[in-house]
A = this chain, B = another copy of it.
Amino acid sequence: MKALVYLGPQDKALQDRPKPMITAPTDAIVKVTRTTICGTDLHILKGDVPTCTPGRILGHEGVGIVEEVGAAVTAFKAGDAVLISCVSACGKCVNCRRQMYSHCTTGGWILGNSIDGTQAEYVRTPHADMSLYPIPPGADQEALVMLSDILPTGLECGVLNGQVQPGSTVAIVGCGPIGLAALLTAKFYSPAEIIAIDLDDARLDTAKRFGATAIVNSSDGHAGEAVMTLTAQRGVDTAIEAVGLPATFGICQQIVAAGGHIANIGVHGVKVDLHLEKLWDRNITITTRLVDTVSTPMLLKTLCSHQIDPTSLITHRFKFDQILDAYDTFARAAETKALKVIIEMA
């Protein structure tokens, strides 16, 4: 089969690879019909993710059709249309019992990382019963691809950890795909204000179109002050960090109100300064999280009932044999205005 293979830093290729086979009774083999590219795939290509070694098929998002299931799989059978979660969960280890599937002792985020992923014609999905979801009849296939990773990540790491409530003031620091996913899912809870912050005016325009009530271009280095002005010096109830840099985490510390929340989504490569000399008495909460995808059933319900339109995140569409173009378009997002790209296999 064809597969997009990581060959080492800055190196990837569309190669022929053997079709995967069931290796554990809880596995399924899924024929992928649509996949996408994640910012994390770009991190891998920079050589930043040591668990992902050369030769790995990338990708941890997608939808498809079950081709074959192992002997212990009871929830799915060949022919079922399924959503593939970016997190594989056994459901029974000490962490899965706490619904912290991201830290499943035999799973977590392994697809396209420590095992082969979804940017291929077929993928082996471990712990299939807990890690695939039946596609509801009539659901939009492209919208569903957004439920593999980006929407549960925005919702769980940003919105739920940030405890967004009706009437809240929310700041979203970073309006790339993940920040916009946080914005879309924050609206489930009817916040009063959503302040979008980014360096790029085009992304801020998109944020506004998605429902931001105010936008702040942070390129002048004064985003913190701007947010304090917008909030009459009170600060925000929830600051969602969706970049992963010391500077953006710093903005969050500047703008969080007493009693507020900093919900980190960003993947950080270096330590940050935490200004406890200013924050020790401010009654704030800081959270980190790798998405658990525990909200996927909820998201499926909101999708089917039209509480959210995930296709608004999709800017480009490619056929699988154009996947190198897709990577290029996605990597040059500032120029191409790419958010999420859909890659169709057939």
Further contacts, 6 of them, CB under 8 A, given A26-B72, A100-B258, A244-B276:
A92-B129, A167-B298, A264-B280, A266-B276, A274-B274, A282-B288
A192-B305, A285-B285, A290-B281 known; A249 and B271 CB under 8 Å? Answer: no
A258-B100, A285-B285 known; A273 and B275 CB under 8 Å? Answer: no
Tell whether, in the assembled complex, residue A288 and residue B283 are in contact, meaning their CB atoms are under 8 Å apart. yes
Interface centre among A191, A271, A308 (most CB of B within 10 A): A271
Q: List 22 A-B contacts (CB under 8 A).
A: A26-B72, A91-B130, A92-B130, A95-B258, A97-B297, A99-B99, A102-B283, A103-B258, A165-B298, A166-B298, A167-B298, A167-B302, A192-B305, A266-B276, A267-B280, A272-B276, A273-B274, A280-B288, A282-B290, A284-B287, A285-B285, A286-B286
Please tell me if A98 contacts chain B, counting CB pairs below 8 Å: yes
Cβ–Cβ < 8 Å partners of A12 in chain B: none
Chain B's closest residue to A234 (CB) is B94
Cβ–Cβ < 8 Å partners of A97 in chain B: 294, 297
Q: How far is the CA of A273 from the CA of B270 in the complex (A)?
A: 10
Number of copies: 4
Cβ–Cβ < 8 Å partners of A247 in chain B: none
Report which of B100, B283, B287 forms a contact with A289, defined as CB distance below 8 A.
Answer: B283
Closest Cβ of chain B to A92, distance in Å, is 5
A103-B259, A288-B280 known; A297 and B94 CB under 8 Å? Answer: yes
Q: How far is the CA of A287 from the CA of B283 in the complex (A)?
A: 7
Closest Cβ of chain B to A181, distance in Å, is 14
Tell whether, in the assembled complex, residue B167 and residue A299 are in contact, meaning their CB atoms are under 8 Å apart. yes
Cβ–Cβ < 8 Å partners of A93 in chain B: 75
Tell whether, in the assembled complex, residue B259 and residue A304 are in contact, meaning their CB atoms are under 8 Å apart. no
Cβ–Cβ < 8 Å partners of A167 in chain B: 297-302, 305, 307
Listed in ascending order, the chain A residues whose CB lies under 8 Å from chain B are: 25-26, 71-72, 74-75, 90-100, 102-103, 106, 129-130, 165-168, 187-193, 213, 244, 249, 258-259, 264, 266-277, 279-290, 292, 294, 297-302, 304-305, 307-308
Q: How far is the CA of A281 from the CA of B292 in the complex (A)?
A: 10
Chain B's closest residue to A298 (CB) is B167
Tell whether, in the assembled complex, residue A259 and residue B98 are in contact, meaning their CB atoms are under 8 Å apart. yes
A103-B258, A167-B297, A259-B98 known; A307 and B276 CB under 8 Å? Answer: no
A71-B25, A100-B259 known; A276 and B288 CB under 8 Å? Answer: yes
Q: How far is the CA of A298 from the CA of B307 in the complex (A)?
A: 22
